[in-house]
Structure formats: C-alpha cells, structure tokens
Structure 1
Amino acid sequence: MLDQLLARAVQLGSLPRLARVRHEPLARQAAVLRYLLGRAQGTAWGQRYGYAASLSAREFARRVPVSTYEQLYPEIEKILRGQPDVLWPGPAPRWQARSSGTTNARSKYLPVTSEALHYNHYRAGRDMLALSTQLYPTQRLLQGKTLSLGGSLEASPFGAAQAGDVSALVMQSLPGWAQTLRTPPLPLALLEEWEDKIERIARHVLRQDVRVLAGVPTWMLVLLRRVLALAGAADLREVWPRLSLFLHGAVAFGPYRGLFEQLVPGGQLHYLEIYNASEGYFALQDEPGSPDLLLLLDHGIYYEFLPAEQYDSPDPRPIPLEDVTIGPSYALVISTNAGLWRYLVGDTVRFTSLRPYRVRITGRTKHFLNAFGEEVVVENAEAAIAAAAHATGCAVRDFTAAPVYFEAGPGTSRGGHEWAVELTGPPPADAARFGQLLDEELRRLNSDYDAKRHRDLALAPPHVHFVPAGTFESWLRGRGRLGGQRKVPRLANSRQVLEEVLSLMPAGPTGNDLQQ
C-alpha cells in the first residue's frame, strides 16, 4: 500500500510537468532561459555579457560565444579551484563531475551545482520513476528495489571538493526516501575497485527483491552474469521473480538487447532508455513502443542546435528549438544551471518529432569509440598509435578501429576493440609489444577506457591486424574516395568500415596478424 501511495505522489509531481513539456515546449524553454539569465546576471560571466532576465533569446545568442570545454576551461578552472560567482552565483560547488578526457587532459572536470542536482538530475530521475510506475502499474516496482550501478567518488585534484562519475554524485546525494528504494547500500555502490565491487554487490543483491535495473549495459551485464553464476541459475527471474524493468543509458543498447533477453527470456523484462551525461540529464524514453526520447525542456537546461555543416566552423551559429526540423543531425549546445553557457557538448541528435520534441542520439561531432562507455576519441587513438609505433621502431601509414561486441554464451562477458593498422614498412619484430603499448597509452590518456580495461573485466586487450601496404588506398579507391582530403574514418562504433578493410587482406595467415 505504501508503495502505491509513493508512486501516486511521484506521478502527481511529475506527470503534469511532462505534459507541459509536450504541449508548451517553447514556453517552457523561454522560462528556463529567463531563469538562467536572471540567476547569473551578477556573476563575472553574466556581467561580462550583460545578462538580465529580460534579455531575448536572439540577443543572448548574439552576445555570448559558443564554447567547447577547452574554450570554457579557464573559467571552469577558477570554479574548480574554489572561486565563487564565476559562471553561476554563489560559492564554488562541492561536487565535480569527472568525465572522459579531452585533447588536453586524461579526464575533464565539470562543476555540479546544487541547482543542477535538484532541478535537473533529481527532477528527471523522479520523472523517469513516475513514468515507470505509470507504464507498469501491475509490477509494483516501488515495492522492491532498484539495482543501480554507478561509479565512485574521490577527492578532487583541485581542492576540497569531491569528484566522480555523475552517477556516483547523484547516488551519494539522493534524499532519504529515494535511498530506501535502491540497492546496494552506498558503501558498496561507491567502491572504487571494480573487481571487488562487482563481486561484493553480486553477493549482496542475491538476497534482495530486485524489480528494476538501472545502469550502463556494459557493467550491468558483467554484474548480472556474476549473479547468475553465484546463484547457479540460468535465468535472472529464478533469482529475482519480480524483475521487470531495465533503465539503461550511456551507450547504444542495440548490441546488448539479445544478451539481456537471454538473461531474462520470454519478453518478461521491459526496457526504457535515458539520456544523461556529466553535463546534464537531457531526455528519456516515455513511450515503450518507440526508441525516441522526449527532450526535457524545463529541467534547468536551455537548448540550441548546431547544424552539421557548422561543426567545424570558426563562428558556429546554432539555431533555437523552434527552428529545428525532422531528419538532420544537430550538435547539442546547452546553457545550464551548472554555469555552462552555450556549451558544445559534442553529442549529436536527430529530431524524430516536433509535437512533442523527441530525438534519437546519432553520435558525436568527432569520430569516437563508445560501445562500452569508454569514450575513446580520435586524439586518444592517434596519440596511442604514435606511441606504440615509436617504441617498436615502425611507422604507421593509416589505421581504423571498431568495437568487438559481446557475444552470447558463457565466458564471453567482455567486449574489446579491433584495429587494422597499415605500416610503411615491415611489422615490428615484437608484434605483441605493439598491441600492449597501444593499450597502455590509451589507458594513460583516457580514464574511462582505463576503467573498462581494469583487470580485463569489461574490455579485453586490443586485437590488432597489420594489413598489407596499399590496403587503405584500395578501400578508398573502391569507394571513389581517393584524392584530396578523403580518408578512412579512424574510429567508428559500427564495424562496417573495419570489416570492409579486413576483407581486402589476402586469405589465410599473412604473418602480419596480432591476436591477444
């Protein structure tokens, strides 16, 4: 009975607001912009650009530049080091979200204000809870536990604040009523050592009435397979008879769906996607029959959208929500109650509906690998390839990489990366050393990749093929792309390019193939 009362209370607080998001989207966004500009008008940034609640969206766009993380970093660093009233009013936040590295650093750090936690992350989380209980009322989701799997916290390298994955920050700060709905307890949930964490959580949750799963598919799959092994079960419903919903995000779910359907067969597990990031909680799936995500328009974020042809423009001109159209990909540009102003997130989305505004995630503004939450960008890959080549005395002419997705069956809980590398000369005498150095440098450069590679738990070592000279030229020629600035994509989450390149290799062993 108490769970039904709580579900009703959450629905009353969230569902009317979501209705306004669907039916009054432009009015909601106008109100968010007024709130942001009014709150920040006394900050150093607000004074620099003449902020006022009455400032129009057009004038705001004219005055304030679009910024990447690197461009905004001088102001962000002031906040990280404790300076108040820089981008958002008040003392420097005591929380910092740590995310994947940039061209300048292994990890990037973003301030997380109290308002961002309460009016973005918590509000969106309550909305997802309200939708879940509305969509699946007979499952009595709140009568059991939500198994949520997140990151860890650490002391910030910049001062007294705590830093960590945004999931850990949110989990740590949840109100008491929300803490009672989740498992495992915080001391386990926030453990830093992943191998120990997975083992201890698996043993703890065996005894819980888990009805909802929430987390990144990569790590959730590792955990669930350990749970099955400990329980000696073939089906998760043998362990948790009332398990019925998986809230997932961070990576594309397509490659994982079949694996989860094996863990809970017979269509007994429902799936809903969320779209959140270190910078904010942007959208959620409000219709189970559609993969489209409802854009959250009154959660402390003002949105603009950069057309694809302007991704590399020195003077980017994003368009407001009212001017988007269905079909094209746009890069997200956000202004938030964490003090990110006209901030280019790097994600790209495509609108599938304008009434209401729904999107699908289409990728990143740069090539990247993020099949497992590792977020390896081209800059990481090029630096790691160069380091491996230098250390082994060879020179790389070209390369491409793609994921090796999880496969069904026992003993296949890890994914990985597969590389095709063309050298200007013969392969190194110690080919295995090349792959090892590539892996080590990627781990040094990118904290998310390093976490996934820890003790080979989620990602296997890279699998490198040394392809014959001329392979990439043949691939380009076969597609009419020789000449000019045409080149093979360095990284992709699709395996299409990699498999086309590898198909050009001679049949049988070549002596140039490294498998680890």
Structure 2
Amino acid sequence: MGIRAILSKPFASIVVGAQQKWAANPVETQQRVFNQLMAEARHTVFGKDHHFDSIRSYGDFQKQVPIRDYEQISPYIKKIIEGKPDVLWKGKPIYFAKTSGTTSGVKYIPITKESIPNHINSARNALLNYVHETGKSAFLDKKLIFLSGSPVLDEKGGVPTGRLSGIANHHVPGYLRTNQKPSYETNCIEDWEIKLEKIIDETINADMSLISGIPPWVQMYFDRLKARTGKPVKDIFPNFELFVYGGVNFEPYRAKIYESIGKKIDSIELFPASEGFFAFQDKQQAEGLLLLLDSGIFYEFIPAEEYFNENPTRLTIGEVELGKNYALVISSNAGLWAYSIGDTVKFVSKNPYRLIVSGRIKHFISAFGEHVIGEEVEKAMQHTMKRHPEVELVEFTVAPQVTPELGLPHHEWLVEFARMPDNMPVFEKDLNAHLQQLNSYYDDLIVGNILKNLKITPLQKDAFRSYMKSKGKLGGQNKVPRLSNDRVIADELQQYKLGNL
C-alpha cells in the first residue's frame, strides 16, 4: 500500500470526526455561519445598502434582504467588474465562475479567497468519507481521471474567469497531481471530440482506479474506449473501483454506464454548482446527500409551491420537513445574499440532514449540463420566425435525445406548424444559432462537438390537441410543457409525426 493510501485513513478519521460534530448540531452550526457572514460583510457596499450593522437576528435579515436571482444581484456584479472592491464581500473575488444565465446570457459568479475552500475541500472530503466508511484507500495510489472543462482562464474586470471545473483544476492537491489524468495540455483542448481522443491515448494503458465527471461525458468516454478495444471498461481498467459524478440527474444514464463498465462498482454523488458546493454522498447505503452546514454557506428554504408568491415563506434548517420540495436559497462568503440558485431539494433525513436534488424551479433541459430553460427556447423560436415570415406555428415542445440511433446526442424540437418553413434545414440552422446565442452552455456543447445541432420533428395537424385529449387534459388551463428533461412527452408525440398518417 502506498503513502497516499496509508495517510488518507487517519486524515479521513479527523475530517469525519469534525463533520459529525457539526452535523449533530445543525441549528447552532448554521447560526454560527450566519453570524460570521454578517460580521464579515458589514462594511461592504451590499452590507451598507442593507444595513447589516443593524441585523441582530435572522428575522431582521429576512426583513432587510429580499430573495434575489442573478438578474437582481447583477448591478453589484457590474461594480466588481468595473474594479470596485468591497462590493459583495471584502476585497475582490479571486475568480469569476462563468456560467449560463437565464435572461442575461453569461453569468459571472464570484469566488473569493474565503469561499474557494468550500469547492475544493468538499470534493476532497467526499472521497475521505468514502475511505473512512469502506476502509478502501488503495485507489488513491493509482491513476485518477477528472473529466472537466478547460482550465484555461480569461479575465473579466481583471479577475481570472472560467468554468468552475476548470478553476477547480488549478486547485487539485499536490499529492494527487502526479497520478491525475488527463494532462494539463490535454485538458486545455476546447474541442471535446479531439480532447476525448487525447484522453483515451493517455489513459488506455494506465492503471485507472477512479473516474469522475458528468455522466453523459463519462459515457462518451466509455463508448470510445470500447470502440478502440472491443472490451468492457472492467477489462481495460481492472482496478477501476470508484465512479464520482454530479451535475445532472444520473438515473437516465445509470443502466448504460454500468453496462459499459461490465460490473457494479461503488459511486459517490456530488452536488456542486458555481455558487457553491452544497452536499455530497457520505454513505454508500444511505439515501441522499449530506448537506454541508459548516462550509461558509447559510441556507434558506422556500416551499416550492410558494416560490413565485410575493412574500414566500423562508425557512432555516431547523424548520424544514421531510419529503417536501424546497427552492434552495443561499447566503455565502462568496458574497451571494439570499440568492436563489434555481434548484429544488427534498430532505430524506434530519439526522443528519440529507437531501436529494429534486429538480429545477422552472422547466428546463440539462441532460448535458446545458440548463436550457423555457424562456430561451421561446425566444429562439420567436427570433427564427422573424427571419422566416412564411412560418406559422401552432405549438412545440423540446426534449433531449440522449441515445439517438445515429450520430451525437441533440435536442429534439417537436413542432406543429400551421405553415411549414420554405427551407427546413435553414430554419433549423437559424433556430440552433439563436439558441447558442442565448445559452452559453449550449453553445459550448455544440462548439465542442458534444451535442450536434438541434433536430426539428414536424408533427401532424392537431397533434398537440390529440395528445392532450388522450391525457384528459384538453381545454382549461392545461398545456404541454414547453420543454422537459426527459422523453416521456416526446416519445408519446412520435405517433403524430408527419408521415405516420
């Protein structure tokens, strides 16, 4: 057994011991985090605007700091980009995590000197929990692969800027650097197809023990490995024993990934986001992810059914109920205040507090991490119809096609036209281009050859009417969702394709 494997066990005991202490005192832990945040940010622009110096309780905070999304906090982000210090948090951010917005295109999420440990240490602690629980640590001495975005950083207002996974790549601990794959040079390749071939070149003969990444990206890696070798992953990497994933719902990919591996292996689920690292799977057999209550983040929870109310109920950790959907709201040492991240969660345990990610507060598609929302597809369609004035639209819905018979995955647009485009391929191309402009993640996936351009499936006359009638939902306020992250509706609409008459 190597030095990493040997030293990881006492280190894991220390980390898990500290974790158990705060997990056993959740309300007190969150109150301490809240008090620290208020004290540290009192003299910031945001703190002065919201009278942090007069806040004595969470009740005061509720009254003085409304729930915000990115659009509402963006004026403060703009000040930071302009070079002003002490805006949302003391000093200036050390990074901006670049992520896709909903109405503004790109979002720039600040990461501060105080918040970067949340991202880095939480990922480390997820592995140490696994070591502590299972006693397995030999994987740390073999090769580890982290399928991530490019670590090449740009600048925004003098602040290094990039995708979160690329930023995190700069902070991989030194003791893991020597056995990390792929190489830095390969990680910098932007085109996913080219990058994937280089990753295979570097790993196909390596003794891989841990593979980490977003499930669809990992599946592509596995598919290419099999195409090269004709073997299942377990025969290529006989010591592969741990799969670490997060970012999208794993369930659509689970069966195929384990089929590609050729055996059942242990896995760890993570709940990271640009805004913070919120939870990780701390037990192999327990349901849910441990909510990180002592990591510089103060949590609030809004009952999902109240989210769009003018004054929704705001709850702290001690007030949540099991099995209820909540919109997740955070305040953090990155300078985000009562910030709605858009995810919904559901608690499955209170001792300790474990949750599952139950969805997004709005309809969306994120089969590959693209976070495309209804407003974006509607705007893309509207812009495209202006370029093609002959087109008349009845209805449409959008779904991911994760496993097409041929070619790369894509978004399928099921559209009922009253008047068809004169040139469907040009219409499709324009529609795809507009969506790329509206959503930077989708653009990255298209440019990187992870997704191919969207495909329109024209539907018969009255297709949506017939579908809704078949569901007993014709009329009233019932309507087909503009988009879905699964294919339940899309697959049922296939019977109404033009040509199926």
Residue 490 in structure 1 maps to residue 478 in structure 2: no
2-structure distance, mates of 1:116, 1:178: 21
- Could you say which residue in structure 1 is the equivalent of 2:346? 350
Deviates more, 1:374-383 or 1:426-435: 426-435
* CA drift at 1:278: 0.5
- Match in the other structure for 1:77: 78
CA drift at 1:431: 1.9
Correspondence 1:497-512 to 2 at 5 A: 497-504=489-496, 508-509=499-500
How far apart, CA to CA, are the structure 2 residues paired with 1:304 and 1:222? 37
**8 Å Cα contact 1:43-1:85 kept in structure 2:** yes
- Structure 1 counterpart of 2:372: 376
Other-structure match for 2:317: 321
CA distance in structure 1 between the partners assigned to 2:429 and 2:475 by the alignment? 33
CA distance in 2, matches of 1:53, 1:290: 42
**Distance (Å, rounded) in 2 between the aligned partners of 1:14 and 1:194:** 36
- Deviation for aligned residue 1:280: 0.6
1:405: how far off? 2.2
Cα deviation 1:380-411 (Å, max 9, x = unaligned): 1111222333323202221111122237xxx8
Match of 1:469 in 2: 461
The CA distance in 2 between the partners of 1:190 and 1:313, in whole Å, is 44
Deviation of 1:54 (Å):
7.3
1:204 aligned counterpart, secondary structure: helix
Deviation of the 1:197 alpha carbon: 1.8
Distance 1:194 1:459 in 2: 10
Q: Give the CA deviation at 1:412.
A: 6.2
Post-superposition offset of 1:158: 2.9
Quote the offset at 1:309 in angstroms.
Answer: 2.1
Aligned to 1:109: 108
Give SS of 1:167's match.
helix
Structure 2 portions without partners, runs of 5+ = none
Partner residue, 1:336:
332
CA deviation vs aligned residue, 1:30-62 (integer Å, no higher than 9, x gap): 111111111111111112223259732222122
**CA displacement, residues 231-279 of structure 1 (integer Å, 9 cap, x when unaligned):** x241222322211111000011111112211221132x22221010111
The answer as to whether partners of 1:233 and 1:239 remain within 8 angstroms in 2 is no
1:399 matched to 2:406? The reply is no
Q: How does 1:33-48 map to 2 (within 5 A)?
A: 33-48=34-49
- 1:447 Cα offset (Å): 1.5
C-alpha contact 1:214 1:247 (8 A) present in aligned 2 = yes
Q: 2:257 corresponds to which letter in structure 1?
A: F
Percentage of pairs with the same residue: 34
* Equivalent residue in structure 1 for 2:421, among 417, 428, 453: 428
Amino acid paired to 2:143: K
1:57 aligned residue: 58
- Which structure 1 residue ranges, 5 or more long, are not aligned? 511-516
Secondary structure of the equivalent of 2:221?
A: helix
CA positional deviation for 1:433: 2.3
SS in 1 for 2:170: helix
1:155·1:163 contact (CA, 8 Å) conserved in 2?
Answer: yes
Higher deviation after alignment, 284-293 or 373-382: 284-293
Q: Pairwise mapping of residues 84-233 of structure 1 onto structure 2 (< 5 A)?
A: 84-90=85-91, 92-105=92-105, 107-118=106-117, 120-138=118-136, 140-154=138-152, 156=154, 158-230=156-228, 232-233=229-230
Q: Shift in Å at residue 14 of structure 1?
A: 1.6
> Are residue 445 (structure 1) and residue 438 (structure 2) matched?
yes
Amino acid aligned to 1:225: D
Output aligned runs, 1:270-349, within 5 Å.
270-349=266-345
Find the aligned partners of 1:153 and 1:171 in 2 and give their Cα distance.
6
- Deviation of 1:482 after TM superposition, in Å, equals 4.1
The farther-off stretch of 179-188 and 77-86 is 179-188
Aligned: 1:236 with 2:233: yes
Aligned residues: 499
Measured after TM superposition, the shift of residue 307 of structure 1 is 1.0
**CA displacement 1:292-328 (0-9 Å, x = unmatched):** 1111111111100111222222333321111111122
TM-score by length of 1: 0.91
Specify the code of the residue in structure 1 equivalent to 2:458. F
Alpha-carbon distance, 1:168 to partner: 0.9
Q: 1:27 to 1:63 in 2, by over 3 A?
A: same
Tell me, in whole angstroms, the C-alpha distance in 2 between the residues paired with 1:158 and 1:246: 34
1: CA distance, partners of 2:168 / 2:497: 48
Residue aligned with 1:503, SS: helix
Which residue of 244, 255, 261 corresponds with 1:264?
Answer: 261
In terms of mean alpha carbon deviation, does 292-301 or 198-207 score higher? 198-207
RMSD of Structure 2 on Structure 1 (CA)? 2.2
Q: Deviations over 1:152-181 (max 9, x none)?
A: 245546322221111111111233224334
- Structure 1 residue aligned with 2:67: 66
Distance (Å, rounded) in 1 between the aligned partners of 2:208 and 2:54:
46
Q: Which string of whole-angstrom CA distances, capped at 9 and with x for unpartnered residues, describes residues 347-384 of structure 1?
A: 01111112221111111111100111111111111112
What is the Cα deviation at residue 500 of structure 1? 3.1
Q: From 384, 387, 395, give the equivalent of 1:388.
A: 384
